[in-house]
Amino acid sequence: MLRADNLAVQRGDKQVLADIDLSLQPGEVFGVLGPNGAGKSTLLDALSGELRPSQGQVTLDGRPLASWTGPERAQRLAILPQTSTLNFAFRVEDVVGMGRLPHATGRVRDLEIIAEALAAADAGHLAGRNYLELSGGERQRVHLARVLAQLWPGAKGQTLLLDEPTSMLDPLHQHTTLQATRAIAQSGVAVLVILHDLNLAARYCDRVLLLQNGRPHALGTPHEVLQAEPLQAVFDLEVLVQRHPERGHPLIIAR
Amino acid sequence: MNPVVLPRSLFIALGLLLALALLLSLALGPVSLPLLDTCKAALRLLGLPVAGDGLEQAELIIGQIRMPRTLLGLAVGAVLALSGVAMQGLFRNPLADPGLVGVSSGAALGAAIAIVGGASLGGLPDAIAPYLLSASAFAGGLVVTALVYRLGSRNGQTSVSTMLLAGIALTALAGAVIGLFTYLADDATLRTLTFWNLGSLNGASYTRLWPLLVVTIGVGLWLPKRAKALNALLLGESEARHLGFDVERVKRELVFCTALGVGAAVAAAGMIGFIGLVVPHLVRLLVGPDHRVLLPASALAGAALLLFADVVARLVLAPAELPIGIVTALIGAPFFLYLLLRGRA
């Protein structure tokens, strides 16, 4: 379980993140929303240990993040960055197979997991292709498969952090990607996902954190948080919130 | 550009190529030996019981001149190619070169100091001059690399791009100092300096060979242990950290191996360019970027290519000899341009 207590991050003189208290529950999908520059990626960097917090601390299973050895931590915590800089002609399976580097499950099992993770990210048909020949959206799904493979098949105590996993995807794959994260959450993994699409967050997240200027503005279920007033306050956008006619979750429409 | 060759086929092909290169390197030169005699004499030198009537001359030539030269070429080629793989992995750029972190220019500066310093002291005793030159080149390479590494580090984190820029700056600085030495040098010193900067396997001896051989074996055994980390590093530094690798430590090891390997190679044979750049690139085109295959395959290919280049260097102007650095640059530079243009197409 990943937990942040009174987390704050300073960059120069500027407080870019402050007052963050959250603990990700096993099996939940936790959405982070906020305008550009609100500190979403900074939060993810702080949670993954890439940024040293100026205050507070992050614990994984009750132990400070830094006290874990690399492979131990990698077996419990996987992170999907917003973009990848991979510039070498690996085959798709080799990229996904890197998710198995922290494990010693053997080649046969790893190949099974790679195939399953690719299928989960709806990228099974890309197997055998050269990574560099893929489109941006296809690459994004391959990296999703990579972090899924890192935690596969998923267990309680594991955490997955995703930074805008749908940013380059077509509408169908925005849904398949979030369905895949729901599926791995089902196995007990706690998932934190940064999203820009309010309706995707409304549909797939159990809890939502609304960030504004590095501080939490609202935290709760999509029904509680995705209301006209907080969205107006944070995004400066006038919205109508209705009920999804079939699914019942909030449906956000710009006015 | 999917990989076109299976790793096993590549290893077999490279093994045969290297065997051919070894044989030609032992057989060809001002006095060319029949291939059969070469094989027999080489086997006899290895202590195998082969009938050896009338092979005294062949044994003498091979044992005294060509065997150390061939082994030197083998080690230089292998270690330069390995260092190239390490640097391209560290900088996550397939066009990176072992010279990027300043090790080549540092070694060249060290050698220039030894050559010009020795000459200005009225010439060093012949017994220690070659050792001093090698040691000075090696030390120069290590010192400049350490400096580049320090300049690129802040708060225990190493910025690869800062290292790259620091390497360029220090390379320019070393070039200026070498230029100054060249300007001040007298004719004889100038000739030594120039030849050394062009690289040559000429005058190889077992005493010059051993330190390089030890370093090559060490680097050749160490780097493959980091093959998985190098693969992960290609994803990005934070991604490699998230996969559980101690990235700072891996970076230190890569820089150290490169400094050691290139420093020793330059100390033994002067500046030989393009092997470290072109060989890993070529191997990657054939089997893909997986370092578990790339590292050993590049070592084999680098050794074979350098031996072929040396055979060419020996033969084109025979009985005179072309510096091998000219040969590798003549082959390597057009190939590099071809890679650039192909990538753009």
What does the DSSP 8-state code read for residue A54?
S
- List pLDDT tens digits, range B87-146: 899 888 887 787 777 888 898 888 888 888 877 776 666 667 667 877 888 888 888 888
CA distance B269 to B212: 10
Q: How many Cβ pairs within 8 Å bridge chains A and B?
A: 77
Q: Which residues pair with A209 in a beta bridge?
A: A32, A219
Q: Which residues pair with B93 in a beta bridge?
A: none
Which amino acid, residue A7? L
Query: Touching check for A66 and chain B: CB below 8 Å?
Result: no
> Which helix (H) or strand (E) is A2 found in, with range?
strand A2-11
Query: Touching check for B289 and chain A: CB below 8 Å?
Result: yes
- List pLDDT tens digits, range B211-256: 899 999 999 999 999 999 999 999 998 999 999 999 989 988 998 8
State whether A89 and B3 contact (CB < 8 Å): yes
User: Is-contact A53 A9, C-beta < 8 A?
Assistant: yes
State whether B232 and A98 contact (CB < 8 Å): yes
Cis preceding linkage at A153, omega within 30: yes
- List pLDDT tens digits, range B21-68: 999 999 888 788 888 888 888 888 887 777 767 778 888 888 888 899
Q: Is the pLDDT of residue B345 over 50?
A: no
State whether B242 and A77 contact (CB < 8 Å): yes
Domains of chain B and CATH, by start: 7-344 (1.10.3470.10)
Q: Which of residues 228-267 of B touch A (CB under 8 A)?
A: 228, 231-232, 234-236, 238-239, 241-246
SS3 B304: helix
Q: Which of B91, B230, B235 to mutate to test the interface with A (most CBs of A within 10 A)?
A: B235
Domains of chain A and CATH, by start: 2-254 (3.40.50.300)
Name which of B202, B220, B211, B234 is nearest B93 in CA terms. B234
Q: Using CB atoms, pick whichever of A71, A73, A81 lies closest to residue B239.
A: A81
Q: Which of A88, A143, A159 to mutate to test the interface with B (most CBs of B within 10 A)?
A: A88
Tokens 């009750």 locate to: A62
Which amino acid, residue B337? L
State whether A86 and B235 contact (CB < 8 Å): yes
Tokens 């996550």 locate to: B92
Taking CB atoms within 8 Å and a gap of at least 24, the contacts of B109-112 are B109/B140, B109/B144, B109/B174, B109/B177, B109/B178, B110/B136, B110/B137, B110/B138, B110/B139, B110/B140, B110/B141, B110/B143, B111/B136, B111/B137, B111/B140, B111/B196, B111/B266, B111/B267, B111/B270, B112/B177, B112/B178, B112/B181, B112/B182, B112/B193
CA distance B171 to B145: 10
Average pLDDT over residues B173-192: 85
Torsion of CA B59, B61, B64, B69, to 10 degrees: -120
DSSP for A82-127, written as a single string: SS----S--BHHHHHHGGGTT----HHHHHHHHHHHHHHTT-GGGT
What is the token pair recorded at B205?
Answer: 């001896």
> Which helix (H) or strand (E) is A215 found in, with range?
strand A215-220
Closest CA–CA distance from residue A85 to any residue of chain B (Å)? 6
B142-173 as b/e, with b when 16 or more CB fall inside 10 Å?
A: bbbbbbbbebbbeeeebebeebbebbbebbee
Is the ipTM of this structure higher than 0.90?
A: yes
Cis preceding linkage at B319, omega within 30: yes
What does the DSSP 8-state code read for residue B158?
E
SS3 A191: strand
CA distance B65 to A165: 62
State whether A75 and B231 contact (CB < 8 Å): no
Per-residue pLDDT of chain A (255 residues; tens, 9 = 90+): 899 999 999 988 888 999 999 999 999 999 999 999 899 999 999 999 999 899 999 999 889 998 999 999 999 999 999 988 898 999 999 999 999 999 999 999 999 999 999 999 999 999 999 999 999 999 999 999 999 999 989 899 999 999 999 999 999 999 999 999 999 999 999 999 999 999 999 999 999 999 999 999 999 999 999 999 999 999 999 999 999 999 989 999 998
CA distance B320 to B317: 5
Closest CA–CA distance from residue B103 to any residue of chain A (Å)? 25
Sign of CA dihedral A30, A34, A38, A41: positive
SS3 B307: helix
pTM value is 0.90
> Which helix (H) or strand (E) is B231 found in, with range?
helix B227-235
Amino acid A232: pLDDT: 94
State the SS3 of B64-96. Answer: HHHHHHHHHHHHHHHHHHHHHHHHHHHCCCCCC
DSSP for A128-186, written as a single string: TSBGGGS-HHHHHHHHHHHHHHHHTT--TT-EEEEESTTTT--HHHHHHHHHHHHHHHH
- Residues of chain B positioned with their CB less than 8 A from the CB of A81: 236, 238-239
